[in-house]
Chains A and B, each alone.
Chain A
Amino acid sequence: MGEENGDGKGDVIVLMKGIVKRFPGVVANDHIDLEIRRGEVLALLGENGAGKTTLMNILYGLYQPDEGEIYVEGKRVRFRSPRDAIAHGIGMVHQHFTLVEDMTVVENVILGLRKYGTFPDLKKAAEDITEVAKGVGFKINPWAYIWQLSAGEKQKVEILKALFRKVKVLILDEPTSVLTPQDTKELFATIRKLVARGLGVVFISHKLNEVMEIADRIVVLRRGKVVGRLMREQANPRLLAKLMVGREVFLEIHKPPREPGRVLLEVHGLKVMGDKGLLAVKGVSFRIREGEIVGVAAVAGNGQKELAEALYGLRKVEEGRIIYEGEDITKAPISERIRRGIALIPEERLVYGALPTFTVAENLILEEVDKEPFSVPVPVLTPALGMRALNREGIINYAKKVIAKYRIYPPYPEYPAGKLSGGNLQKVMVARELERGSKLIIAEEPTAGLDVAATEFVRETLVKARTEGSGVLLISSDLSEVLSLSDKVMVMYEGEIVGAFRPGELSIEEIGLMMAGAKRMPEEEVAKIWQ
């Protein structure tokens, strides 16, 4: 907040000098200098794997730096654990919440605190927590269990945990990745309040528009090095993207107009169970045509994942029908769906998508191993048993081509898939699903955790597939992604479709309200869009 700090520079609270952290095979932080100032939002911008989180984990005492020094308010410090960092007024909210789901808010907040003694008076603690919450305008029931809370509320608990420990510096690691637009707005207001109180806030992100909105000062990291330091007034999205990626990036997605073709997929009154034995998808109906992207806008956990899994055959359908190219595939096994050209790009890449101990090449041909040139017939075994011999040369040559086309790094066909970065692993998944000429692509969070370049690539690839006549179901918690890629968007809330529209027809606020369950469109209006 420039006007409050005069020249925009508060006192330095934390100074990190020449920080180096090496992991096997990579230098995650390569001589990084950083200062965190009082009353200022410092954005740490960079692609995945740029070293942002590593740097902050060092400041929080989770990692030990190999080289470099840290000063807090002018004094040299060494943090051996988060306890040391907390004692020096550093707090951190991790991207994946570090809350104990089976405990109450109170228990989570006082965890590790000594101030309440061995037999803490939880009532007193709850009062103290409510007090701190009031100070920043949070409404939180201290006796609620964490599993009862929404993502936005969990984040508030995380922030409370830090504030309760009277932090001077609050690190927020990709804090908006799980939030609805309204939650994000609220979070930004909270950040402003904290900064006005004199805290230093570190905002880790790879989202340019958010950084432009909230940051006072921006430090850009690329491959472990600082490649840019600028005040927000000096920055613009184009410049930041260029710094981050190291080359010119086209932020706009080029999406040529395309007239949707015949109906590819028809879903009638689909009901699907979730993991907890309750209906997660409660009777949804929609259509996907050739040459269109249908996006799903929803907060995580509203049935979109179960819907995708049911369409691919990973989850049993309780009621309703799935018609694909005019045929009922409700009960068809996955292998048949794959053969018919249905592809899934799963969210949990290492669970459902890739075999981490297999090589990149093997992962790429997993679903097509019975085809030339990946395997060849052999005498006796092939005619008698249908067994074929792997053709290593064919597999490797194909893998090399795909690796080059999708710019997978490191470019070795025999590299274990489990050791790839998230972005590169996702490229392998996308390549595998698209290179076999799929007609219906179910993409679950296809760009989650990907860097700008990989995100751009995956989006382009999906649009290209759509333009060439495939149908795409795009599930993403990145609302701007859904709106910019999709031809039609449906909003899901608690397993139902509560709205459907074409991008541009509704405002972000209206969409946000529907995602939060505060508003829904009449059913006839929703049905109209699929005609």
Chain B
Amino acid sequence: MWDVIASVINLGIAMATPLALASVGEVYSERSGTINLGVEGIMLMGAIAAFHMTYVTGDLLLGYLAGLAIGVIFGMLFSFMSVTLRLNQVIAGMGIYFLGFGLSDFIYKTLYGKEYVTIQKPPQIPVPGLVNIPIIGQALFDQYPTVYLTYILIPVLWYLLYKSSIGISVRAVGENPKAADTMGVNVFLVKHLTIWFGSALAGLAGAALCLEITGLFFENLTFGLGFIAVGLVYFGKWDPMKAWAGALIYGMTWSISVTLQDPLQKMGHPEMVYFMLMLPYIVIIIALVIMSRGARPPKYLGVPYTRE
């Protein structure tokens, strides 16, 4: 019994990780006033880049880096549109989404045809010592590489946002860019960099999803996770730790429903399997509705900045 619970938590955390990475990236982007709805598309591009790089080179690290890199490239494209050209962020973001959606599938079909090709997933790495703690060890410390990354990265990002001069500048740019500008903060640079950073994490999230969870690529691999990541920013009230908590709720629900699918099928409730597939989405929608009430976005979210 305890073994099952530990493995459910283990899977839940693994599933929550791509979502958490994309979401905390978006937190930074939105904190400086830019809403990036293209996260889903960037995740798909990150996934295909990581998949192809790993398939060709056989090197997982290069795969992760390819996801990260394609994220930065798409972030540059998006920040050029939304910050430099001051285009409507919703429209620009949807453009990025459709581009990523179509392009990732096009690349896959061009390179691999209609076959499903699998790659060797990265191993789950046990942390010596910690893994021996009963239940917790198996749940938390026998995990994929990006899971360990989130353990360190997200608290660091929280600390940076609230306790560092970088965080003060980022928050000031989103709340009142003019105030930041008149105090000598380079508003445009802050906006560009946070968008690149957020997109890089989205690309890495796609890589994690593809390499660690699925081990293969197919059309629309992310099935809406990128949009859920944007929703989790509201759920978390623009706080990296709370956004992570939201991702974990989703991951756990998903893990429970996946684990229950087989027994339910065997017990003669095939219709419940579909319900279980739907469950994570229901839970996340309810969580969003409850937690997003009274959420106050950065005051200049969605407003392009100009001096004159």
Contact = CB atoms under 8 A, between A and B. Distances in A.
Interface of A: 23, 60, 62-63, 81-83, 86-87, 92, 94, 97-103, 107-108, 110-114, 116-120, 161
Interface range on chain B: under 10, 10 to 19, 20 to 34, or 35 or more? 20 to 34
Contacts of A62: 181-182, 307
Contact of B165 (A81, A103, A116): A116
Given A23-B308, A98-B179, A103-B175, 17 more contacts: A63-B307, A83-B184, A86-B183, A98-B178, A100-B176, A101-B176, A101-B299, A102-B175, A102-B299, A103-B171, A103-B172, A110-B165, A111-B169, A116-B165, A117-B165, A118-B165, A161-B183
A103 B171 CA distance: 9
A81 B176 CA distance: 17
B172 A82 contact: no
The 10 closest A-B CB pairs, nearest first, are A83-B184, A112-B183, A98-B179, A112-B184, A112-B185, A100-B175, A111-B183, A98-B182, A100-B176, A100-B172
A97 to B, nearest CB: 8
B164 A119 contact: yes
Contacts of A63: 307-308
User: Secondary structure at chain B's binding surface: helix, strand, loop or mixed?
Assistant: helix
Contacts of A119: 163-165
Contacts of B165: 110, 113-114, 116-120
A120 B164 contact: yes
Contacts of B169: 111-112
A99 B184 CA distance: 13
Contacts of A98: 176, 178-179, 181-183
Contacts of A23: 308
Given A111-B172, A113-B165, A99 B186 contact: no
Contacts, number: 82
27 contacts: A23-B308, A63-B307, A82-B182, A82-B183, A83-B184, A83-B186, A92-B182, A94-B182, A98-B179, A98-B183, A100-B179, A101-B175, A102-B175, A108-B179, A110-B165, A110-B168, A111-B168, A111-B179, A111-B180, A111-B183, A111-B185, A112-B169, A117-B165, A119-B163, A119-B165, A120-B165, A161-B183
A242 to B, nearest CB: 32
B171 A82 contact: no
Nearest to B183: A112
Contacts of B272: none
A267 B172 CA distance: 43
Contacts of A92: 182
Output the residue of B168, B175, B181 with the most chain A CB within 10 A. Answer: B168
Interface string B154-190: 0000000001111011011001101111111110000
A81 B171 contact: no
A23 B308 CA distance: 10
A101 B184 CA distance: 18
Contacts of A114: 165
A155 B248 CA distance: 44
Contacts of B185: 83, 111-112
A516 to B, nearest CB: 27
B208 to A, nearest CB: 28
Contacts of B299: 101-102
A118 B164 contact: yes
